[in-house]
Every structure is written in C-alpha cells, then in structure tokens.
Amino acid sequence: MDTMTTLKKNIATALGEEKALFAIRNVKIFHMTDGSVEEGDILINGDRIVGAGACCKDLPAEKEFDAEGAYALPGFIDTHVHIESSMLTPGEYEKCVLPHGVTTVVCDPHELSNVAGTAAWDYFISCADHMAMDLIIRLSSCVPATHLETSGAEISSKDILAYAGRKHVCGLGEMMNVPGVLFRDEEILKKLLYCTPVDGHAPLLKGNPLNAYLVSGVENCHESTCLEEAEEKLRRGMNILIREGSTAKNLEALYPLITLKNSPFLAFCTDDRNPADIRKRRHIDGMIAYCIEKGADILAVYRTATMSAARIASLPDRGIIAPGKRADIVLISDLEKCKVEHTFAAGKKADETLFASLDLPPVPETFLHSIRREKICVSDLVIKKEEWRGDVIGIIPGNLITEKIHAVLPEKEGILYGDEEQDIQKLFVLERHGKNGNIGKGFVQGFGMRCGAIATSVGHDSHNICVTGTNDEDIVLAVNLLIEKGGGFTVVREGKILAFYPLEVGGLMSQAPFEETAKALEEILAKVRETSCKIEEPFMALAFLPLPVIPAVKLTDKGLVDVEKFCFY
C-alpha cells in the first residue's frame, strides 16, 4: 500500500468509516500529557495508532484484544544501552526485555565495534530489520575510546559519514573522548559534525569544560553519579539519562531529580545490564517501580520512561498514546508497581508466536574467532618494584569511578605482590587482538578475594582480557582458558576450573537463549563466591577497570592510566 493510500485509510478508520485492522479494547489510557486516565479503546492500523479514547469504543475492527481494564501506556524507551553487555545477541535481547515493556532501545554497538569495526554496525543494522522492538543505532564515536589502549579496530570520521543517515541509524554514540573535544582534535570534531544527535559521556565534568563540551553539540549524559553533578548539567541544558545498570547503579542517588518540572529533561537507561540481573531486578519497569516507591511523582516517572525519553532520543513518533504515533503500547495492571501484563511493539503483541516468526540474520563467522594471542606463563606476570610507578585502583561499589589508593605493597627480592590484609590483589589486562601481545600490570583493592582468580574477555571498551586473582598460577590458568576457548567468563581456584561460560561472539556475547545465559551467569557468580569475593557483579566490575575515560585510575594493556591527567603513570 502506497503512502497516500495508507494515509487515506488511516483517516477513514479514525472517522469510523472503515474497520481498523486491530483494536485494544477496554483500556484505561494513562495520558503522558496531563496525567489523566481515560477509559476507552485504541485503534491500530499496521504499526500506527489511528484512534484512542472513549470516542473509539464503538468503532469497528477486524481483530480485537480485550485488555480487561488494564492501564495503557506508551512503550518504555531505554535511551542508552550496549546490547553486547547483556551477553545476548539482539534477537535474544528483545525476548528478554520486551516482556518488561521496553519497545525501543537506543543502542551504541561500540563493544563489538571495538572488536570488529564497522562490520558490527552492519550486523546490528541487519538485525534491526528483523526485530519486533525498534532498535535505534547510534554510530560508535570512539573506536578506540582513546590512544591509551589497543583496540581490535579503528573507526574514522569517514566511516561515520558513510553510515550516517542509513536505515535504523539515528545519531552519534557516546562521545567519551572529552579531552579530544576540549583539545579540538579535528578528527573528533569531524565526527561531531558528520552525525547528529550526539550522545554524551562526561563523568564529573563541570564549569567551563562542561560548557565547552556542550558547545560541540553533545546533548545528554548518562554518567552523573550524584545530584550536584546532575543538577549543574541540567542548568546547562544537558539532558540527564538516569542509569541503573548491573555495575553502575545511579538510581538511588538521582531519583530525587524526577519532578514534573525536571521530567522533560530526564530519561532512563541501563547502559550495561545482564540477563541474570534483569531476571532479579527487572528492567525499565523495575526502575519505574523503585522511583514511585521512593515517592517520586508518578506522572513524572512515567514521562521519564516514555514521552521525555522519546524527545531526548529524537524520536518524535512515540512516547504518548495518540493518533499517528507508533503503536508501542504497554498494558499494566498496577501503575505504582509497574506490573507489565502485555506489550505491543509496532502494533504486534510481543509473545512466543511473534518471536517465532522473526527471521534474524546469523552471526557472521568472523565474529567467532576474535581471541588472537599466545598463551601466557607465570613469568609473564612478574611486577618488578623498579618498574612500578602508580596507585592501586580502588573500587567504589555500584560505581564505575575508581579511587587512587596510595598503598605500600609487599616486596620480596625486588618483586611486588598483592596483600590479603589490605584487600589488594594483582590485576592484568592482556591485549587479545593479535596486534602486540601487551600485558598491562597493576593492583586493585576491593574484590575481597581470599583465593583463586577470575577472568573475562569483556574489558571495556577495547575488550582485552582482564584478570585478577590472589596467585599467579590460577591467573595463568584462567587467562589461557579464555584464549583457548575464544572468550567468556571463568573462575579458577587452587589449580581447578570452577566454572566457565563461553562468549563466542566477539568474546562478548553468547548465542544461547537468554534464559540459559541468565541461569549460567547465576551459577558462575555462585562459584565466584567460593573465592570470598564480596562484589555483587564481579565480572562487570572487572570489565570496567580498563576503561580510561572514567576517573580516577584505570589499567589498559599499555599500562596504568591517570585518567584525570589523561596519561600513563
């Protein structure tokens, strides 16, 4: 049906002159515009709402769904997420989150892009063509994130220009290279000019540097960790994406921001949340319920998840239930608890029948062989006192920001070691893309491990192998297993492999069903507890220790980084 014919049919349907293709009957529409509740029906043609409200009750439809008095709200929008960090392929990801009312995700695939380059974009775009939810792709702006690490690929401004404007592509992914912006690096500035809107990434940025960062065209930030930081950014016109991920948990600190006055400038995001965590704490629906329970205004909370999120994400065709808008609809039996009963994505009910009808593309074979380095031995892990210059990385629970810990480390014959009494253990980041074989060496405080080692091929954002442990032998065993198997998570204790879960797609994702991945993650986390590790999400925490764009100190394959000075120690 051509555009003119479709428009005429939709107008005729709204007038009751023609049958709607589909109707959701007997709903209580919770209007995001004024907070009122209206009993009535919703008429849908294809992926568009053509009528809503009490006036639609007697209008005909070819097919109907009885909502049995449930509240109808617009589909929820996750305004910033890396699907790879769920460890699921896009098809499994939507099966996991659509039942939670999430009908749109704004995805920056920079995890896989750092491994596979623009081939990652091709894969996500092809997946978006076949998904039930709307997958909005932001082009990864920082591959690699900085010059301080070794990435598997490099993406230039020319690459971004070539993809800007393609189907499913809407904007530039998080601009993490704040120094590159402030120092007016021309390659960075070209990226900002070639593709809009621009997502931000500005932890602790304030004052004139914040002004300068915003002048570049950046529109939002998901890295605020306290009210004072978020409030200054709001005053500067920056939209705040309130994040609650598996590692970075900012909702408790930031929910007081959610008022009717502030709500136009707020949205929710998860950034990085795994399926075990989703099963435990839900998704955007869980964030909504938490904020309402804490006393936030209910309309302001739901606006943050829908109407405001749509504006901030530059998606004007959704966010409210109204004629002409995309038919992304969530049916909820309890507004305060955000109890999702049914989800409709583009007018289709999200259920097993719909998922079975989707024909998603296979994972490219090239993504399945991404670990390209030689195995290591104990002698590779020696940290000489004469070579050591730096601080111990101090983990802050629930936060990606780390502390600089000035500690005296045990020494024997010029060799430095971890210290159980100070909760300090060795940390290594090993280049795994087959480029140089680097091994970054450091120390970390906060894991609380009394024995063993844990390792992961997920290491934001260049995704080199990350490992920490209490003894070199277990560390070697953990690393070499990941090299042999092509990526994943592993736990080792006293020379035995306690658990391993493969992430064969770029060393980041599993092709298994999301239920299987969630169960496996729960099981491997239980094994980590046998090392006495006290961190709730140890693999996620470990994976963020190489990220040199978040203060204060991080470790990459090239060495220890003072993030505040943006240089090596």
Helices (H) and strands (E) in the chain, counts: 18, 29
Q: Which fold has domain 76-321?
A: TIM Barrel (3.20.20)
Q: Give me the count of residues in the chain.
A: 569
Residue 1 in this model has a pLDDT that exceeds 80:
no
Q: Where are the domains of the chain?
A: 76-321, 368-568
- How far is Cα 179 from Cα 137, in angstroms, rounded to an integer? 25
Helix/strand/coil (H/E/C) assignment for every residue in 453-472: EEEECCCCCCCCEEEEECCH
pLDDT band at 429 (very low <50, low <70, confident <90, very high): very high
Is 152 a residue whose pLDDT tops 90? yes
Whether this prediction's pTM lies above 0.85 is answered by: yes
pLDDT at 487 over 90: yes
pLDDT band at 2 (very low <50, low <70, confident <90, very high): confident
Q: What letter does residue 506 receive in the DSSP assignment?
A: T
Tens digits of residue pLDDT in 498-519: 999 999 999 999 999 999 999 9
Which amino acid belongs to residue 80? H
215-233 mean pLDDT: 97
What's the pLDDT at 387?
Answer: 87
- Note whether 37 and 28 are within 8 A (CB): yes
Residue 438: both structure tokens together: 């680097």
Residues 536-557 have pLDDT tens digits of: 999 999 999 999 999 999 999 9
pLDDT digits (tens, 9 = 90+) for 331-384: 999 999 999 999 999 999 999 999 999 999 999 999 998 999 999 999 999 999
Task: Round to whole Å and give the CA distance between 222 and 13.
Answer: 41
**Three-class SS string for 341-404?**
EEEEECCEECCHHHHHHCCCCCCCHHHHCCCCCCCCCHHHHCCEHHHCCCCEEEECCCCCCEEE
Residue-wise pLDDT for 252-264, tens only, equals: 999 999 999 999 9
Q: Which residues neighbour 14 within 8 Å (Cβ) at sequence distance 6 or greater?
A: 43, 50, 51, 323
- In the numeric block, the tokens 């009312």 are attached to 101
In which band, very low, low, confident or very high, does the pLDDT at 520 lie, cut at 50, 70 and 90? very high
User: Residue 398: what pLDDT?
Assistant: 86
Using pLDDT thresholds of 50, 70 and 90, give the confidence band for residue 389: confident
Percent of the chain residues past pLDDT 70, beyond the cut: 100
Tracing tokens 């990220």 back to the chain, one arrives at 547
